[in-house]
Structure 1
Amino acid sequence: MHQIELFLKYPNEVQHDWFDKLIENGKNTEWGQKYDYASIKNPDIYKQRVPVSRYEDIQPLIERMRQGEKNLLWPETIKWFAKSSGTTDNKSKFIPISQDTIEECHFKAGKDVLTLYLNNHPDSSLFQGKGLLMGGSQNIQEVNNQSYYEGDLSAILIHNMPYWAQIMRTPSLAIALMDEWESKLQRMAETTLHHNVTSLSGVPSWTLVLLRKVLELSGKKTIPEVWPNLEVFFHGGVSFEPYRHQFLSLIPKSEMQYYQTYNASEGFFGIQDQTGADDMLLMLDYGIYYEFIPMDQLGRPYPQTLTLDEVQTNTHYALVITTNSGLWRYLIGDTIRFTSLRPYRIQVTGRTKNYMNIVGEELMVDNAEKALATACAKTGAAIRDYTAAPLYEENNIRHEWLIEFEKMPDNFEFFAEVFDNALKALNSDYEAKRYHHLVLKPPLIRSMKKGTFYNWMKHNNKLGGQHKVPRLHNSREFVDEILKNSQTTKKNFNF
């Protein structure tokens, strides 16, 4: 807690210290020499000289690193690459993970997650049982007689865990790192049934699949019947709100806690520090230097970025990071907003490519999640998964929503109406475009058969790990593919 309190008290000083360390470490790399890091003395020079990069911009260097070349982006030899797609895009990304990042970022964050939780719950029995981690898969590649490793970030971290952490987790490494997802779920459920599981960690959507498998094999109706000492779920990767009702149904335990984290292949960024909060501390001492792009600057060749001391609350920003794995001014594709500046707390609001903006409505994932939660609360519904895209009809434009319900709404027509009105209340741009149906027509909501999204992910070899259903998209690529390979139920509503 002392270390955490240090960056809470001196946030901007801590960020400037990390800026200096990162530039110093990178000055003799190929990238650092290209941009003359030796003469960069402050963040202003850095912003003027070094471009904001996307994966495609540094991919040639990463491919050379995967062939064993050294000192390209970071002075340390990189042997770990987190395989990531971010969505169901077929193109895989290989994010370099240095040993510095493993130790100073991800493992430090793991300790901080426990620290913040236990600080709020000093009577916890967390360490009297085991933590069940939903990890991904890992492959070992041999190149030029040198080993490098690629796989989901979670698998890389599980593989590198110190022994004291390994004995506190379940299932075994052999099962945790299995490739075939459906067999892995079966083995995970079988081997953890009789363990004293006190915590869960993972992406909500895939954790639900595992919990249902556990109930199926155990013959029990609720999770506390299987794991009576379960007390907390550390979740991240996607918004928890669409899944909250399902977790409350499977784990009907008033003292059960839910703690949000914000981690990605590129780094660990945020941890919920208050019980019941819907925001997270921005973690400032993990070897990451932050910049923030206002949304009206996004897409420009040289966007004006803000430093931490320049941000405002309730404004959407695209996140730019410089890390101790050699990601320099890297645009990770997430959008956030600050809920507080003392301390710096954030909410993840979406993806820079995962929103709809066809007629200026600027509909973010955050808007959708909250509106769906409102509609579910007022109609008794529960949602398993969803996606949405624009629908172009003759002289009409509307949003088309494919929703797979865990529990259908009591009144489907009312659900659609509440959802549309909630979006208007949350987003003034959407409300303006929906005014009298002049620009944007009412949404078309399709209720999909159960298993639609799971089968679609399976068809695209995207089961498990960090793969996620794309929520909002300006293209109809995903929606058309899902509709082509599935059938909706009788419930389609277009009011």
Structure 2
Amino acid sequence: MEVVNSFMTWIFKNRIGQIEHFKKNPIEVQEELLEELISTAKRTEFGKQFHFGEIRKYQDFAEKVPVQAYEEMKPYFERVMQGHQNVIWPSEIRWFSKSSGTTSSRSKYIPVSQESLEDCHFKGGKDMISLYVNNYPESKLFAGKSLSIGGSLGQNPINPKSEIQVGDISAVIMQNLPLWVQFARTPSLEVALMSEWESKIDRMAKEVMNENVVSISGVPTWTIVLIQRIMDLKKANHILEVWPNLEVFFHGAVAFGPYRKLFQELIPSPKMHYMETYNASEGFFGIQDQKESDEMLLMLDYGIYYEFIPMEEWESDNPKVIPLADVEIGKNYAILITTNAGLWRYKIGDTVKFTSTTPYRIRISGRTKHFINAFGEEVIVENAEKAIQTAAEATNATITNFTAAPVYFGDSKSKGSHEWVIEFKTFPSDQEQFKQLLDSTLREINSDYDAKRYKDLALSSPIIHFATEGIFEKWLKNKGKLGGQNKVPRLSNTREYMEEVLKLL
């Protein structure tokens, strides 16, 4: 196995030179990519409708092709799902990713082309490994199994008789992985693609607990559930008693900060590494390329052309849209993407902040629809996660999940506030201190929140419900959203989710 590990490490390191190329020539790479995407799709229905043949430069593209939300692209997607091809992309589209970035009752179906699988999602997975072994040359990543926690596949809901399959992007990827990757991963596809999550976790735990697992890829919440189940079955104090060679967790989908302490309890080793990725239904966007960093390198040669809307323009009838060359460090942007799967100037719903432009590195700051701005406080997910993490670390608490929503004015004399339901594995040593720290940290990092909290003028101190483990899993199960890429919404500007969770306390 040592020979295999050395050989595979050498192969994956060869990609580093190509990564360095787009880091040094980001704008040229993006401009060439846009030209290639336009040229490839100019004879599609979408390309003809928006006169791709007349587009010569970015300004033409921005003038001729409107910014698209899901609702605008949905009729094109549905035509493909009905069986039509060459609608948004010239090659045959055989998969759709079922996007559940929120727990909304309405699912979104995102096209996945062969090009996006190979040049984006697969390439992202390979680059994740390349960057990891480049940073940790002593790694034994190929001496054991990679544990992948994915979603499930199902029928095309619009045309069940078609060959098009629909599922979580992780399931689409797993289903199409080359044989050598299938050999290196665990559990079996049969178990990995199960749709009933309670049975799946149990089957998965029993199948993988006797493997030599060296790496894990997945969403933190479901990884925790699986690890805890394996520890119960093995009667282990921590997971290293089961997998002594475990060395890295490749994680994504939600911010890792609030989970870090719990993972350090489950995997008590200073040699354990954590690496963040930004892989969504719409594409693979970013990878942490530096040790011990909370920034991700924006991957610029994956068949994705990027544009951005400054968040102060988001509500505008005609928002300003800028290319990558014009972004500024520290500003909050909504992402638009044009891809080799037929998404054109598409709003993915995520927001990012650039931490560097040489090279382009980002942090995910939240969602365009996941924020609290009921009183002009403009609290985004990034703020909430920082405040939660600060309060937890100071009070020795371990958090598993949370959500927050506004409490609106009841009458002319009442004040508004924010209400939180926070699920703990380990409760704070001092709940009042936790509450004060959460509030004071928010005030420190968000001047709008601080202004509204000043002398309780508009907002009174937050209301916090200290919940035991399992409340959010129960809520997701009640909504039929257990598993896959379904996530608890961190923030909401309405009380819909909050009222549902409060009924379970």
Range into which the TM-score falls when normalised by the shorter chain: over 0.9
Root-mean-square deviation (CA), in Å? 1.1
State the alpha-carbon separation in 2 of the partners of residues 223 and 85 from structure 1.
30
Code of the residue aligned with 1:224 in structure 2: it is L
**SS of equivalent to 1:38:** helix
- On the 8 A contact 1:67/1:144 being kept in 2, the answer is no
| Equivalence map 1:453-464=2 (5 Å) | 453-464=472-483
- On the 8 A contact 1:52/1:302 being kept in 2, the answer is no
State the alpha-carbon separation in 1 of the partners of residues 461 and 67 from structure 2.
38
Aligned match for 1:47, one of 58, 62, 76: 62
Aligned match for 1:92, one of 107, 112, 119: 107
Question: What's the offset of the Cα at 1:325?
Answer: 0.5
Code of the residue aligned with 1:112 in structure 2: it is D
Deviations 1:117-140 (A, max 9, x none): 000011100000000000100114
Code of the residue aligned with 1:427 in structure 2: it is N
Aligned match for 2:384, one of 351, 358, 368: 368
**SS of equivalent to 1:260:** strand
Deviations 1:247-301 (A, max 9, x none): 0000001100000000100000000001100000000000000001001111323
State the alpha-carbon separation in 2 of the partners of residues 146 and 190 from structure 1.
35
Code of the residue aligned with 1:417 in structure 2: it is Q
Aligned match for 2:123, one of 108, 118, 124: 108
- On the 8 A contact 2:337/2:346 being kept in 1, the answer is yes
- On the 8 A contact 1:80/1:150 being kept in 2, the answer is yes
**SS of equivalent to 1:167:** helix
Question: What's the offset of the Cα at 1:359?
Answer: 1.6
| Equivalence map 1:373-412=2 (5 Å) | 373-392=389-408, 393-394=410-411, 395-412=414-431
Equivalence for 2:265: 249
Question: What's the offset of the Cα at 1:141?
Answer: 4.1
Code of the residue aligned with 1:121 in structure 2: it is Y
Asked if residue 438 in structure 1 is aligned to residue 465 in structure 2, the reply is no
State the alpha-carbon separation in 1 of the partners of residues 353 and 469 from structure 2.
34
Equivalence for 1:134: 149
**SS of equivalent to 1:233:** strand
State the alpha-carbon separation in 2 of the partners of residues 478 and 48 from structure 1.
39
Equivalence for 1:148: 164
Asked if residue 424 in structure 1 is aligned to residue 443 in structure 2, the reply is yes
Question: What's the offset of the Cα at 1:481?
Answer: 1.1
State the alpha-carbon separation in 1 of the partners of residues 237 and 480 from structure 2.
31
Question: What's the offset of the Cα at 1:144?
Answer: 8.2
Equivalence for 2:468: 449
- On the 8 A contact 1:242/1:383 being kept in 2, the answer is yes
Equivalence for 1:491: none
State the alpha-carbon separation in 1 of the partners of residues 109 and 213 from structure 2.
33
Code of the residue aligned with 1:118 in structure 2: it is V
Aligned match for 1:66, one of 49, 73, 81: 81
Asked if residue 117 in structure 1 is aligned to residue 132 in structure 2, the reply is yes
Deviations 1:358-402 (A, max 9, x none): 121110100110111100111111111110110023331111111
**SS of equivalent to 1:396:** coil
Equivalence for 1:344: 360
Question: What's the offset of the Cα at 1:32?
Answer: 1.0
Question: What's the offset of the Cα at 1:145?
Answer: 5.5
Question: What's the offset of the Cα at 1:450?
Answer: 2.5
Structure 2: gaps (5+ residues)? 1-15
**SS of equivalent to 1:321:** strand
Structure 1: gaps (5+ residues)? 488-495
State the alpha-carbon separation in 2 of the partners of residues 235 and 480 from structure 1.
30
Code of the residue aligned with 1:58 in structure 2: it is M
Question: What's the offset of the Cα at 1:26?
Answer: 1.6
Aligned match for 2:349, one of 333, 342, 345: 333
Deviations 1:305-363 (A, max 9, x none): 11111111011000000000010000000000000111100000000000111121110
| Equivalence map 1:78-89=2 (5 Å) | 78-89=93-104
Code of the residue aligned with 1:94 in structure 2: it is Y
- On the 8 A contact 2:425/2:468 being kept in 1, the answer is no
Code of the residue aligned with 1:6 in structure 2: it is H
**Distance change >3 Å, CA 435–CA 155, structure 1 → 2:** same
| Count, aligned residues | 486
Equivalence for 1:21: 36
Code of the residue aligned with 1:362 in structure 2: it is E
**SS of equivalent to 2:371:** coil
